[in-house]
Structure 1
Amino acid sequence: MPRKTALFERTADLMTSVAWKEWAGYAAPCNFDAHSEREYFAIRHSAGLLDLSPLAKYMVTGADAARYLARIWTRDITRLKPGRVAYGCMCDGDGKLLDDGTVACLDPETFRVTSSEAWLGWFERHSRGYQVEIEDCTDRLAALALQGPLSREILQVVTEVDLDAMRFFGVAAGSIAGVNGWISRTGYTGDLGYEIWIACEDALTVYDALLVAGKPHYLEPIGLDALDVARIEAGFVMQGVDYISAQHCLIEARKSTPEDAGLGWTVNLERVGWIGREALVQEQEQGPKWGLVGLELDWAEIEALHEEYGLPPHLSPLACRNAVPVYSEGGATEKPVGQATSSSWSPTLKRYLVLAQVHRKYADLGTRLSVEYTVEFERRTITGTVVERPFFDPERKTFTPKAAPKGASR
C-alpha cells in the first residue's frame, strides 16, 4: 500500500475525485476534481500548488562533495556556485541514461540532489576515496512546487526571500510562513515557478499559508495529470516514459544515451573522469543514432479521420504516455523510424503536441513523419511535423525583475 506524504492529510481533504496514483512508493493526487482542466489553467493563468515530496532527495556534504558529484553527474558540479542549481543526468559506464534530476549548491560543501527514483546504493558505491557523507533525506524533507505566472506574487507574501532578485535556477535559504526552509526557482511546467524545501513537520504550515496567500489569485492545488500536460508543452522528458533507465532495461535496444533522450546539452565531454564519458565520446565520434524531437500533428487530418467514422475529434484533458510507432512520411507499411512517447492536446497553444525519439536523419526541423493514431480500434496514421522544442516557452519563466540588463556593468 502506498505511503503517505506529510501533506496527505491536507490533499486528501481537498480532493473530491479520490483519484490517486503511486509515485515512488507514495500516494499522490492525479487530480482534485472530476478532471484536471481547472488545475491546468491555474498553472498557465494564475498558479498551481503541487506536493513534490515523493521525489528522491539526498544531502551530499563534505570537502569532496563537489568533486564527487562531478564524477557521477554529466554536469561539472565543481563549477556550481553557492545559491545555484544545475539540471543534469547520470549515466552508467556504457554511457546509458540512469536518471535525470537537479543538484543544488547550498554552500561549498553542501549539496541537495534530487532524482526520479532512489539511487542511494549507486551513490554509496561510487563514494569510495571521497571525503563525503550521503544522506537519503526523502522521508524528512518535504517539497512543494508553486508554478504559474502569479507564483512570485503569491510566494512573496509568505517569505522574506527577495524573489524579485532570484534568478532562474537560483536557490536561497529563508523564512517561509515562519519556518526555515529553502526556495529554488525551478520547476517542471516550463513556466514561472518555485520549489520549496522544508522539514516534513513544517509542510502543512507552509502549504496552508500558500493556499491562503493564493486565494485572491485563484491558486489551485494541482495533481500529476495537469503537470503532465504542462511538462509536454515545455518539452520536458520523463524518466520511465520518454526514456527508460538503463537499470530497468532487459535488452540493449531499450537503453538511451543523453543525446537519444534530448539531454545532450547537459553533457560536458571536454572534462574527464566522470562515469560514462568514454562511451559518449565514442558515440559523438560515430554520430548519435537517435534524437528527441517535438512533433505537431496535423489537426485537419485528425478531423478528417474522425469524420470517416462519423465522430467528432475527442480531446482528452489527459496526456498520453502510450508509445506508438513513428514512420517516414507515408511509410506506414515500412519499419518504424522511431516512437512517439508522450503526447497531449495543448489547451494554451491549441495544437496537438508529441515528444518522439526518431532516427537522426528524420530529426531536422520541418521533416514530415507519420504517427500512428487509433480511431474506433483501427490503427491509422496522422502527419506529424518536426517543430521547435520547447513548444511553450514564455519570457516570464526566466525574467528576473531586479536582474541587471545584459551587458550592464555589475
Structure 2
Amino acid sequence: RWLKLNALRMDVSIEEVSEQIAALALQGPNAFEILRKIVDLDLSQLRFFRFKPGKILEVPVIISRTGYTGDLGYEIWFRAAHAEAIWDLLVEKGKGFGIKPAGMLALDVARLEAGFILLEVDYIGAEKAMIASQKYSPFEIGLGWTVDLKKDHFVGSKALRELNGRAPSRQIVGLEINLSDYEYLFRQAGLPPQFPIAAWRGGVPVYKDEKQVGHATTGGWSPTLKKYITLATVEQEFNQTGTQLEIEATVNYARKTTGVTVVQLPFYDPVRKRAIFASSNGSKETTSAERLEKI
C-alpha cells in the first residue's frame, strides 16, 4: 500500500508477490555451522546485514545475515513451493546441534533480549497516531542512525530536518527490574515471585519519585540473561544508563511499584552476531570459536 501511494504520477507498475515468497529464520550460536552444510555458497565472509544469492537443494535462495533475535542468525528467502523441503532439510542437518522449531512467543522474548522494537507495541506508527504525543520520530526510538539528512529529498525529510539538532523529549530505553525489590513485594503478600515466561505487551507506568515519567511497552523474563527486563519510553532527563526509576507491578490484584535501573540497549549482544568467520584451510578443519573474528 505504501509503495502504491508513493508511486502516484510515476511510470511504474507494482505487483504483490508476498504470498509467493517464503522465509525461514535460522537463529542461534550454531546457525553458521548448520547452514553452511546445505547451501552452495561461502558464508564465512557474509557480514551482518548483508545478503548473497545461492542454492539449497538446487533451489535459488537469498541468504541474509539478519534476524529478529539478539544472536547470530540468517534468514533464507525462496519460492514458497519449496518451503517444506527446505524446512525438513534444516531440521535434519540441525539435529546434532539441538535445533528446535520456535514460534512467535519464543521470538518475542528473543527480540526483547535484542532490544528490538515492534510497531504498534513499542511505538505507534504515524498512520495510527491520533494526538501529538502518539507520534514518534526515528530519533526517539533509537533509529536515528537510519536517517541520512545529507540526501536531497526523501519522505519526511522536511520534518526530520526541523527536528535535527534538538534533543528528543523522550527515548526508548532498556530497564532491568531489581529482583530483590520485586521478590519482596510477593513475599509481603505471602506469595512466591511470579516472572512472566512469555513477553507481555502494554503500557505499564514508569515513575520517578511518584511522578510518572514514562511507560514500559514490552517486558518479560530473559532466559538467556536470567533477568527481568523491559523496553520503555521515558522522558529525556531520565534516559541515562544507571538512572534509578520505579515501575508498576501487580501483586495479588494490587498495584505496587518496584525499582528498575536504566541499562544500555541491547540487553544481549554477543560478538558472534556481527562477527565474520575466517575460512578454514584445506589441511585442518577449525571450530567455530577458532574461525570467529571480531570485525
Q: Does the alignment reach a TM-score above 0.5?
A: yes
Partner of 1:323: helix, strand, or coil? strand
Within 2, Cα distance between the matches of 1:148 and 1:405?
17
Aligned to 1:134: 14
CA contact (8 A) 2:71 2:270 kept: yes
Aligned to 1:389: 265
Aligned to 2:250: 374
Matched, 1:189 2:69: yes
- Give the superposition deviation at 1:272: 2.5
* Unaligned stretches of 5+ residues in structure 2: 280-291
Amino acid at match of 2:237: K
CA contact (8 A) 1:295 1:353 kept: yes
Instruction: Return closer, same or farther for 1:138/1:377 CA change in 2, 3 Å cut-off.
Output: same
**CA-atom RMSD in angstroms:** 1.8
Q: C-alpha deviations, 1:120-178, integer Å up to 9, x for none?
A: x2212222465654332211101110100111111112110111121111211111133
Instruction: Return closer, same or farther for 1:364/1:138 CA change in 2, 3 Å cut-off.
Output: same
Within 2, Cα distance between the matches of 1:362 and 1:131?
49
Aligned to 1:237: 117
Amino acid at match of 2:235: H
Matched, 1:363 2:242: no
- Give the superposition deviation at 1:250: 2.6
Aligned to 1:321: 201
Q: How does 1:333-344 map to 2 (within 5 A)?
A: 334=211, 336-344=212-220
Matched, 1:247 2:127: yes
Within 2, Cα distance between the matches of 1:218 and 1:370?
39
Instruction: Return closer, same or farther for 1:405/1:196 CA change in 2, 3 Å cut-off.
Output: closer
Aligned to 1:49: none
Within 2, Cα distance between the matches of 1:164 and 1:260?
35
* Unaligned stretches of 5+ residues in structure 1: 1-120
Q: How does 1:71-220 map to 2 (within 5 A)?
A: 121-128=1-8, 132-220=12-100
Within 1, Cα distance between the matches of 2:17 and 2:199?
31
Partner of 1:304: helix, strand, or coil? helix
Amino acid at match of 1:218: G
Within 1, Cα distance between the matches of 2:65 and 2:33?
13
Partner of 1:366: helix, strand, or coil? coil
Partner of 2:276: helix, strand, or coil? coil
Within 2, Cα distance between the matches of 1:201 and 1:150?
26
CA contact (8 A) 1:259 1:290 kept: no
How high is the TM-score relative to the length of structure 1? 0.66
> Which deviates more from structure 2 when the two are superposed, residues 253-262 or residues 393-402?
253-262
Within 2, Cα distance between the matches of 1:389 and 1:181?
32
